[in-house]
Homo-oligomer: A and B are copies of this chain.
Amino acid sequence: MTRMPLSPTERSTIRRDAQRARTDRAALDAILDEALVCHLAVLLDGAPLVLPTTYGRDGDTMYLHGSHEARSVRCAAAGPVCVAVTLVDGVVYARNPKDFSMNYRSAVIHAQPAEVLGADAKLHGLKTVIEHCAPGSWDYVPHPTAEDMSWTTVLAVDLTEASVKVRSGGPVDSAADIAAGGIWAGQLPLQTKWGIPIPSPDLDRDVVVPGHIATRR
């Protein structure tokens, strides 16, 4: 399948630190698949509103969901929206304050979301979100009822208009600062990992942690 290169529009073209821009579509997918939450920005009475929310990706579509009564969901459905997905990999300690930086992988998507209608399509969107946040859960728990679905709005965000920015590695200090010496320079990685599952206090003792939770990496 041929995929569009990224950054096709004016507003999704990276200008600052342009050497950090990635234009391959695989870089976008990798960030979306690794991160857990996104930050969804919408317009509310002409001002920006940004909230963290869960999501899932299937091919060229990012799915969002929420209560059909939620203000952020209504604003997102009315569009336009901007969605950021960010992985912070560490702090870059330089020899000079102006060269301090962060290591990160960041995706920013501009879109006009479309509400997903039709029972099957909506169920697929919700499955995509659940499987992103809690892989293996969709077929472990009962599927949502029609009544549950009636309370949920699922939105589809097209990933065509997106930009990706990545910084990695140590500081880029000036030759003069390097020559001056005496100051430690490098990176301090930030690591995220899953802890030990904590059973609900109301759980029967004979229910063991299933593999999709126990082995999550």
Chain A residues near B (Cβ < 8 Å): 11, 15-16, 36-37, 39-52, 54, 67, 69-71, 80-84, 86, 88, 90-91, 93-98, 100, 102, 104, 106, 108, 110, 126, 130, 133-134, 137-138, 140-144, 148, 151-152, 170-171, 173, 178, 181-204, 207-210, 213, 216
Contact = CB atoms under 8 A, between A and B. Distances in A.
Contacts of A152: 98
A207 B195 contact: no
A194 B115 CA distance: 40
Contacts of A45: 11
A199 B184 contact: yes
B104 A52 contact: yes
Contacts of A82: 41, 47-50
A154 to B, nearest CB: 12
Copy tally for this chain in the complex stands at 2
A50 B41 contact: yes
Contacts of A203: 184-186
Nearest to A95: B141
Given A170-B201, A188-B197, 13 more contacts: A15-B70, A36-B91, A43-B43, A43-B48, A49-B82, A49-B108, A51-B84, A52-B104, A91-B134, A96-B141, A170-B199, A190-B194, A191-B195
Contacts of A47: 11, 43, 80, 82, 110
B198 A189 contact: yes
A200 to B, nearest CB: 4
Nearest to A102: B54
Contacts of A143: 97
A83 B197 contact: no
Contacts of A91: 36, 133-134
Closest 3 CB pairs of A and B: A189-B195, A41-B48, A41-B50
Contact of A213 (B51, B84, B184): B184
A140 B96 CA distance: 9
B188 A213 contact: yes
6 contacts: A36-B91, A36-B102, A51-B106, A97-B138, A170-B198, A183-B207
